[in-house]
A = this chain, B = another copy of it.
Amino acid sequence: MKALEDKIIAEGEVYPGNILKVSSFLNHQLDVDFLMTMGAEINRLFSDVKIDKILTIEASGIAIAVAAAAHMHVPVVFAKKNKTTNILADVYASQVESYTHKEVYQVIVSKEHLNKGENILIVDDFLAIGNAISGLMDIVEQAGGNTQGIAIAIEKGFQGGGDKLREMGIRLESLAIVDSMTDNSVKFRQQ
């Protein structure tokens, strides 16, 4: 998605540790009009697939998932990173290791919000190693659902998670794939 690549060039900042900061529009401040156009593009990319529900993970996945769902007219379920006292029912749970924060956490989804046989589109803002996505796929499998595809705003291609998923035969659509980045240059993969 050319408009997203342009926005990353214009507003993104590269920091040590493979960090691409896009907090001006994607994960702290949200450019909602732009998010809605990204949502429309995700809808277009998966228009040939039957999707019953979008699954994402709190917190920064929620905005892009809502934007996609607004165009696809399906509900979103967001996995939580901490057990809250508000969820009394049983949960599906999976372990995730965070590359950015160097910590292990559990993603949980209440059993009542994922059903057997549902066709799930997983949506997230970033894909790097792919640990969070693997956790979400694990949860869909536990629920007896089908992961029909994965939609990502920005894939860090050089960290390999995306290509590993493609090799597994999973349909993955990333709106922008960063193949390399340095202080003064971000290079995108041709799609």
Query: Which residues of A pack against B, CB within 8 Å?
Result: 15, 17, 19, 21, 23-25, 27-33, 35-36, 58-59, 62-63, 66-67, 69-70, 73-78, 80, 84-88, 100-101, 109-110, 112-113
Which residue of chain B lies nearest to A102 when distances are taken between CB atoms in the complex?
Answer: B85
A70–B69 touching, CB < 8 Å = no
A84 vs B84: C-alpha distance in the bound complex, in angstroms? 20
A76 vs B29: C-alpha distance in the bound complex, in angstroms? 6
Known: A32-B75, A101-B85. A110 touches B63 (CB 8 A): no
Which residue of chain B lies nearest to A72 when distances are taken between CB atoms in the complex?
Answer: B32
Known: A66-B63, A113-B23. A29 touches B77 (CB 8 A): yes
Residues on B with C-beta less than 8 A from A74 are 32
Q: How far is the CB of A20 from chain B (nearest CB, A)?
A: 9
Residues on B with C-beta less than 8 A from A36 are 70
Which residue of chain B lies nearest to A19 when distances are taken between CB atoms in the complex?
Answer: B86
Q: Identify which of B21, B32, B66, B113 contacts A28 (C-beta below 8 A).
A: B113
Q: Which of A66, A67, A74 has the most CB of B within 10 A?
A: A66
Known: A23-B110, A70-B70. 11 other contacts (CB 8 A): A24-B112, A28-B113, A29-B77, A30-B69, A32-B69, A35-B66, A36-B70, A59-B80, A63-B63, A66-B66, A84-B101
